Amino acid sequence: MSFAPKFFTTAESLVDSLDKRLLVLLRDGRKIIGVLRSYDQFANLVLQDSLERVYVGDAYGDLERGVFIIRGENVVLLGEIDEEAEDALPLRQLPFQDILEMQREESEKKARRDKLRFQLLHKQGFSVDFADNDF
Amino acid sequence: MKEAQQQKTEYYIHDALASDIQDSDAMLFYSFFKTQVGQQVTVELKNDLAIQGVVESVDQFLNIKLRDIRVVDPERYPHMLSVKNCFIRGSVVRYVQLSPATVDTALLQDAARREAQPVAAPARA
């Protein structure tokens, strides 16, 4: 019986996505859009001309990020951006500062709602686990 | 149609077992997903995002490539609006929902039993 490492040919390949503009969803919920220049078997990625896009309500804002090297374990999915659909987005683009404002308001509102929910659940005898990391 | 599917399944399972018998790396699910290429599935991720699409390809890490995708709850995920194809890292998948018509359960059970055996045999020798 052989002890040699097995090299399975993968049907999967990101080579078709190279040099394409992709949306990368990260485990912390961030959306990075950039051109895929390189990848490896762990799905570590090198993105060029990337921007971080933040969505709030019916608007979004972009922040220039330049070259990004993303460690594969943080990647949720890669999406190929359809340029036509991009142009026809029903969302409006706002300057990043405004989006940050909106996001802060949203998270404050959410924090108040969650606090209320936790209190109600607590009265019923439930304990809510607040792991504030992934997703 | 069913026979072609069955042949495909048998081929892939045989392919997996034909490799090193002492290899306990289960390639069964990889082989199974290869038979799902071209079928429509719904992949539910650990972040609760559910994506419906046609399986384009799958790899040994069970990374899945889907084409012609449709997000199950599009309002919550506006960033997916302009995405038609995607690559999903295997480690973030919670469920893959498939159509039962595309699965030959008898064959799968058989393959699972066969995968379990070689692990038991060396212990007796």
Decide: A80 and A22 in contact? Cβ < 8 Å: yes
pLDDT (0 to 100) of residue A87: 81
Q: Do A114 and A83 have their domain in common?
A: no
What average pLDDT does range A82-101 have in this prediction? 85
Domains of chain B, start order:
2-114 (2.30.30.100)
ipTM of this predicted structure: 0.78
Same domain, A3 and A50: yes
Q: How far is CA A55 from CA B19, B32, B98, in A?
A: 48, 37, 31
pLDDT digits (tens, 9 = 90+) for A53-67: 998 888 888 999 999
Instruction: Examine the domain organization and report whether A10 and A37 are in the same domain.
Output: yes
Q: Are residue A17 and residue A79 in the same domain, yes or no?
A: yes
In this prediction, residue B47 has a pLDDT band, given cuts at 50, 70 and 90, of very high
User: Greatest CA separation found in chain A?
Assistant: 64
- CATH number of domain containing A23: 2.30.30.100
CA–CA min distance A116, chain B (Å): 22
- Among the partner residues B34, B80, B89, nearest to A11 by beta-carbon distance: B34
Q: How far apart are CA A102 and CA A97, in angstroms?
A: 9
Q: Does B88 touch chain A (CB under 8 A)?
A: yes
Q: What is the model's pLDDT at position B36?
A: 93
State the average pLDDT over residues A86-104. Answer: 86
Tokens matching residue A129: 């686990």
Check whether residue A125 and residue A85 sit in a common domain. no
Domain that holds residue A121: 95-135
pLDDT averaged over chain B?
82
- The percentage of residues in chain B with a pLDDT greater than 70, rounded to a whole number, is 73
Q: A-chain residues within 8 Å CB-CB of B80?
A: 23, 79
Answer whether residue B21 shows pLDDT above 50.
no
Q: B80-102, pLDDT tens digit by residue? A: 888 999 999 999 999 999 999 99
For residue A37, what are its two tokens?
Answer: 């220049």
How many domains are contained in chain A?
A: 2
**In chain A, residues 54-113 whose CB comes closer than 8 Å to chain B:** 55, 60, 72-73, 75-83, 85-86, 89-91
